[in-house]
Amino acid sequence: MKYPDGQEVRLGDRVRGDGDPTGLVVCCIETQEYTPEFPRAEWEYLQRGCLVGSSKHGLVHYQRPDEDLEFIERKADC
């Protein structure tokens, strides 16, 4: 999955979704990247997209790129 600007969505990316700058990509289903808090066994049934956790919206599943999902920064160790 890619952001609207063409960059690949990666685990640990900080994002802004629907005006909330606290979003964090906690799993990328298509690339099979998961955090320990959101393990593959519990989320792979979604089959595509990514999960973003935020303080304002909780956990949001994006099935495809969304114009409201904006990449802010990538974790340094990725």
| pLDDT tens-place string over residues 12-69 | 999 998 878 889 999 999 899 999 999 999 999 999 999 999 988 899 999 988 888 8
Whether the per-residue pLDDT at 72 is higher than 70: the answer is yes
Looking at the whole model, is its pTM more than 0.85? yes
* Domain ranges, ordered by start, for the chain: 14-73
Q: Tokens 């298509």 belong to which residue? A: 30
Whether the predicted pLDDT of 76 surpasses 80: no
pLDDT at 66: 83
C-alpha distances out from residue 17 to 6, 36, 42, 63, Å: 16, 23, 23, 14
pLDDT at 77 over 70: no
